Amino acid sequence: MSAGRTSGRGLAVGPAPGGRSSAGRLLAGPGRLQGVDLARGFAVLGMFAAHLIALPTWDWSDASTWVDIASGRSSILFATLAGVSIALVTGGPVPLARGVQLAHARMALAMRALLLWAIGYVLIATGVPVLVILPAYALLFLLSLPLLRLRARQLWLLAALLALVVPWVQPVLDELPIWSGEAGYTAGLLVGWHYPFPVWIAFLVAGMAAGRSDLAALRTQLMLFGAGVALAVIAYGTDALIGVTREQEQASYVAAVLTARPHSSGLLEVVGGGGLALASIALCQLVCRARIVSLITLPLRAVGSMPLTAYVGPIVVWAIVAGLVLGDTGDLAGMRDLHLFWPFALGTIVFCTAWVLLWGRGPLERLLGWVTRGLRAAG
């Protein structure tokens, strides 16, 4: 699901490391992209906020509403970081050539995708009212397989093409009869249609392009930050000028496309959210160049080093708490009334930090590594 090394291993992508602790790698390991871990940690906490807090609607003139930045954008950052991870574990700036290495990488990605899909379906079965991203994540992993040999420039061009074209097609896809009725609802859950892959593959490809662009280089970090900020300003500025409402989206095809509303899959959301994700990754890389910052942010980077554990664990805890306290795992308003964001966030940070310092790689990340190696050996 992630990776933080230029040559290394991913939480849900690459081979599992040995038993040595990852604390040293998180602090100053050779080739470790600490900013990627930090960005992933922020993405996880942002998704907590989107789930556990009734976020206000964004208003540029009211700073108290700016917390709404977590809505939708945390998921986009998560998906973009998945692309970064895939690029890092398949060669970094120089993609793997044809041959055994590439075949093994594709096999590992495919097996991880199937395991992530299964975990996602189990989380959905708990009844917790969260738009579980793992089925969509798994499908995006599979869609990345033909792209592993592409270089940065090719990936950037493909990401731009997808981001500019597919949002015009998505409203038509959403109206297909396959999504109607109980069977359509189930089909949507199975493929993670809350994060529709025709649109979300753009974020994954952009992340892959970033991972192929040598994220350790200062020049890359500065260019990526500037470009990401520019895209976000253009998209969200245009959205503010147009002022498309939810009612207009439902009544007009053009309005449905020209919107930045979270989870709309609109053109302005794709460009703005994608730009913000790229700027966030670059900014995290930039600030982590200072050793003092990398030390201070160790707890957040610990969360980012095991995002699968940090994502799945709280949802399981949510199901248990909701079942015991509320008697209904699907009671979203009841869970929000318990004000559990900070207990969940701080508990996750403490758990991940302690685990990293004591045992290294996250528990679910280790489990997926063992299962993947077992399946490959059996095959």
Nearest to 140 by CA among 205, 212, 96: 205
Digit-by-digit pLDDT tens for the chain (379 residues) are 444 544 333 333 333 344 444 455 555 565 678 999 999 999 999 998 888 887 777 666 666 676 778 888 999 999 999 999 999 989 888 888 778 888 888 988 999 999 999 999 999 999 999 889 999 999 999 999 999 999 999 999 999 999 999 999 999 999 999 998 888 988 898 899 999 999 999 999 999 999 999 999 999 999 999 999 999 999 999 999 998 888 999 999 999 999 999 999 999 999 999 999 999 999 999 999 988 988 899 999 999 999 999 999 999 999 999 999 999 999 999 999 999 999 999 999 999 999 999 988 899 998 888 887 776 666 5
Cβ(278)–Cβ(80) below 8 Å: yes
Question: What is the CB neighbour count within 10 angstroms for residue 307?
Answer: 27
Written as six digits, the tokens of 308 are: 């699968």
Burial class, 245, CB count within 10 angstroms (exposed 0-12 / middle 13-18 / buried 19+)? exposed
pLDDT of residue 53: 85
Rounded-to-integer distance, Cα 163 and Cα 276, Å: 14
Residues β-bridged to residue 99 = none
Written as six digits, the tokens of 54 are: 């009734």
Cβ neighbours of residue 185 closer than 8 Å, sequence gap 6 or more: 179
Written as six digits, the tokens of 151 are: 């270089």
pLDDT of residue 61: 67
> Can you tell me which residue has the tokens 């940690």?
41
Cβ(132)–Cβ(78) below 8 Å: no
Rounded-to-integer distance, Cα 286 and Cα 33, Å: 10
Rounded-to-integer distance, Cα 314 and Cα 327, Å: 18
Q: Dihedral angle at the C-alpha atoms of 289, 236, 159, 262, nearest 10 degrees?
A: 100
Rounded-to-integer distance, Cα 299 and Cα 356, Å: 9
Q: What sign for the dihedral angle of Cα 361, 367, 372, 378? A: positive
Written as six digits, the tokens of 172 are: 């038509």
Cβ neighbours of residue 353 closer than 8 Å, sequence gap 6 or more: 298, 299, 302, 303
DSSP state of 129: S
pLDDT of residue 294: 84
pLDDT of residue 25: 56
pLDDT of residue 5: 47
Nearest to 120 by CA among 143, 97, 139, 101: 139
Q: Dihedral angle at the C-alpha atoms of 307, 311, 314, 320, nearest 10 degrees?
A: -140
Cβ(260)–Cβ(266) below 8 Å: yes
pLDDT single digits (tens) 11-20: 333 333 444 4
pLDDT single digits (tens) 51-74: 888 777 766 666 667 677 888 899
Nearest to 4 by CA among 78, 86, 85, 106: 85
Rounded-to-integer distance, Cα 212 and Cα 153, Å: 9
pLDDT of residue 23: 58
Q: What sign for the dihedral angle of Cα 265, 196, 133, 204? A: negative
Nearest to 277 by CA among 214, 219, 207: 207
Nearest to 361 by CA among 10, 5, 7: 10
SS3 for 229-266 is HHHHHHHHHHHHHHCCCHHHHHHCHHHHHCCCCCCCCC
Cβ neighbours of residue 281 closer than 8 Å, sequence gap 6 or more: 35, 36, 39, 77, 80, 81, 84, 207, 210, 215, 224, 228
